[in-house]
Chains A and B, each alone.
Chain A
Amino acid sequence: NAGVTQTPKFQVLKTGQSMTLQCAQDMNHEYMSWYRQDPGMGLRLIHYSVGAGITDQGEVPNGYNVSRSTTEDFPLRLLSAAPSQTSVYFCASGPVGSQETQYFGPGTRLLVL
């Protein structure tokens, strides 16, 4: 199994540009989520999904959209990038359940100029 994969690994955007961060998992996990990691802030939840067609907002959803059309994929869209969205983005997946382990992808480092 490849686990959780993310593309791209690194991206530079100009303010106002849009882009999609890709996340895929091959473990048949129902739960998938996106976090952003900023220095001194830990990981903050952006959006999550408990299955295909079901998404919900996390702690910091503004400026981001998600959709879940398949179990495997959970893309994160930035509609109009802002410098405040410069961060490292991690996708995670796992079984649904509060005791379950989350498996993280390698991250996407995004720089917005």
Chain B
Amino acid sequence: AQSVSQHNHHVILSEAASLELGCNYSYGGTVNLFWYVQYPGQHLQLLLKYFSGDPLVKGIKGFEAEFIKSKFSFNLRKPSVQWSDTAEYFCAVNGKGYSTLTFGKGTMLLVSP
């Protein structure tokens, strides 16, 4: 079975601080990895995804993530966060085919102005 672990449940940062959210997955085969974001009161939307090629992928709003196969990790980063980045972030994996996603428990990010 595939599973996803997100290290931090809550993160509080000041504006302009750098962000790194940890994500580790467990799956024996080839995986496709995603980060989704849920802004307050809104539905989930895709930040970025990785399925092959360059392990450093760039997404929307200045976010990026690095796939490290040897560590089974897919950490999300942003050099300088803004107040508008306050949201809940979910890491997800799909290794089963179809489109079925397995989500981590999420990390709530609060950015103080």
Which residues of A approach B to under 8 Å, CB–CB? 4, 31, 33, 35, 40-45, 48, 50, 58-59, 90, 92, 94-102, 104-107
The verdict on A31 contacting B99 (CB below 8 Å), with A40-B105, A99-B49 known, is yes
Which positions 79-113 of chain B face chain A at CB distance < 8 Å?
90, 94-106
In contact, A107 and B43 (Cβ under 8 angstroms): yes
Which residues of B approach A to under 8 Å, CB–CB? 4, 6, 9, 32, 34, 36, 42-46, 49, 51, 90, 94-106
**CB proximity of B97 to chain A, nearest CB, Å:** 5
Bound Cα distance from A98 to B105, whole angstroms: 20
A contact residues around B97 at 8 Å (CB): 98
In contact, A90 and B94 (Cβ under 8 angstroms): no
Could you tell me the dominant secondary structure of chain B's interface residues?
A: loop
In contact, A98 and B94 (Cβ under 8 angstroms): yes
Bound Cα distance from A97 to B33, whole angstroms: 13
**CB proximity of B78 to chain A, nearest CB, Å:** 20
Bound Cα distance from A44 to B44, whole angstroms: 14
Bound Cα distance from A100 to B49, whole angstroms: 9
Bound Cα distance from A90 to B43, whole angstroms: 8
In contact, A95 and B99 (Cβ under 8 angstroms): yes
